[in-house]
Amino acid sequence: MNFTTSDGIDLIFSSIGEGTPIIFIAGYSGHEYSWSAQTDFFSEHGFRCLHLDKRGHGKNAAVLSGLRISRLAKDIKEMVDLLQLASYHLISHSMGCGVAFEYLSLFGDNHVKSVTFIDSSPKPINTPDWQLGMTGLTWQTLTEANTTLANLALTQKKINTDLLRKMMRGNQAFHFEQTEPLLLDLLTKDYRDVLKQTTCPILFISGELSPLFPTQLMAYYVENAQHAQSFLAKGAGHLPYAENPDETNQVLQAFLRENGGREF
């Protein structure tokens, strides 16, 4: 399916399954198929899985205008309005967490049943008074971030071969240089105030061995959000939803059921 955005861009999205909507927001270089384990599971358990690849990513890789976190959040809002969704869950990972935070900041959480943030910080840049950002990221190292991410091993556990094959379905050459403005926009954000103001339930999932973000963020989310819980994915790196898919799905299922998902 596709729709035309308010700035005149055609974007492709997919809808799989029926039931309570879940909007999945992938990380930098990620796409719809990154969530294959979750789409397979939740579409079979009473949920409607919605995927809108970010501009410059996946099925929308050719769209290189509007590479700003605020525009990506607006794209999701326009999809929500098109589908006339009364309420829905947001599940986000890494850069996708920034898009989710921006969405909450711009449009509020009145219609959001819950938000899941997977391995991301509300403030990526480390400063003297904030050390829970991305590993090694400071204002001085900001311009090196894209090169660092392009060469970094993000996982600690081997992803199941069958799942990896499904995830690779949407793979195409990702243009790190062309999408760098989007990455730099994300890395300069500070959503700590949004986290504190959000009233819907929050789940934060941390990869125990994440090369990007410290596990201490678990305590930060729980202590600073109004309604938050956390989960540590043992032995996982930055992609616990793919490294520990069964465990992650069970945790997500319990959280969504607790906060407005279908009973089954």
The tens digit of pLDDT for each residue in 107-161 reads: 999 999 999 999 999 999 999 999 999 999 999 999 999 888 888 999 999 999 9
Cα distance between residue 212 and residue 27, in whole Å: 13
CB 48 within 8 A of CB 23: no
Cα distance between residue 191 and residue 125, in whole Å: 11
Query: What are the chain's domains?
Result: 2-258 (3.40.50.1820)
Q: Rounded to the nearest 5°, which phi and psi values hold at 164?
A: -60, -40
In three-state secondary structure terms, 18 is coil
Cα distance between residue 129 and residue 143, in whole Å: 21
The tens digit of pLDDT for each residue in 52-97 reads: 999 999 999 999 999 999 999 999 999 999 999 999 999 999 999 9
Q: Rounded to the nearest 5°, which phi and psi values hold at 161?
A: -60, -45
The tens digit of pLDDT for each residue in 161-201 reads: 999 999 998 666 788 899 999 999 999 999 999 999 999 99
Q: In what order do the strands lie in the sheet with 47-52?
A: 2-4, 10-16, 47-52, 20-25, 88-93, 112-118, 202-207, 228-233
- Cβ neighbors of 44 (< 8 A, separation 6 or more) are 17
Two tokens, residue 136: 């090694």
List C-alpha distances in Å: 41 to 5, 47, 49, 85, 242.
30, 9, 10, 21, 13
Task: Give me the count of residues in the chain.
Answer: 264
Cα distance between residue 264 and residue 247, in whole Å: 18
